[in-house]
């Protein structure tokens, strides 16, 4: 079996969807790996409390460099989405959804996310959001 194959439900070989994974750095590692612990983490300025995503070296609000990552609740609102039917590259199975998601802690901190395709090496965890069926 190659790195791009996996065993299907009935023992057959199935292609794993191709996915370009992010290069892990000190700045983004906690965001991409916190899913292994069941967390969604963002950089947050420790001086003014502003959440920063994607990670930046200084706070865009107060220009502080006093930042660390903090877990958020994972509650969010889908601000916009599109269903993609165009095969832009080999891989993700069509159709797939691309969504802009605003976290409740700070709606300006958005994540662009899409259908979950796991990292075959288990190094990167993509946030997966589910509908809140109890919302009013």
In sequence order, the 6+-apart residues with CB closer than 8 A to the CB of 88 are: none
Q: How far apart are the first and last CA of the chain?
A: 48
Tell me the domain boundaries of the chain.
22-114
Question: Tell me: the pLDDT tens digits for 5-50?
Answer: 444 455 555 565 556 778 899 888 988 888 888 888 999 999 999 9
The answer to whether the CB of 68 falls within 8 A of the CB of 81 is: no
The answer to whether the CB of 54 falls within 8 A of the CB of 28 is: yes
Question: Tell me: the pLDDT tens digits for 97-127?
Answer: 788 888 899 988 887 776 544 445 556 555 6
């Amino acid at each position: 079996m190659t790195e791009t194959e996996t065993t299907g439900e009935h023992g057959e070989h199935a292609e794993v969807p191709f996915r370009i994974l992010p290069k892990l750095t000190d700045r983004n590692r906690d965001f991409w790996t916190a899913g292994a612990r069941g967390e969604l983490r963002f950089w947050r300025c420790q001086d003014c409390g502003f959440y920063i995503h994607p990670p930046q070296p200084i706070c865009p609000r107060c220009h502080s460099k006093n930042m660390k990552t903090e877990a958020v609740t994972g509650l969010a609102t889908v601000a916009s989405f599109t269903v993609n039917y165009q095969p832009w590259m080999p891989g993700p199975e069509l159709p797939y959804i691309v969504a802009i998601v605003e976290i409740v802690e700070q709606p300006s901190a958005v994540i662009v996310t899409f259908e979950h395709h796991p990292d075959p090496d288990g190094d990167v965890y993509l946030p997966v959001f589910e509908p809140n069926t109890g919302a009013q």
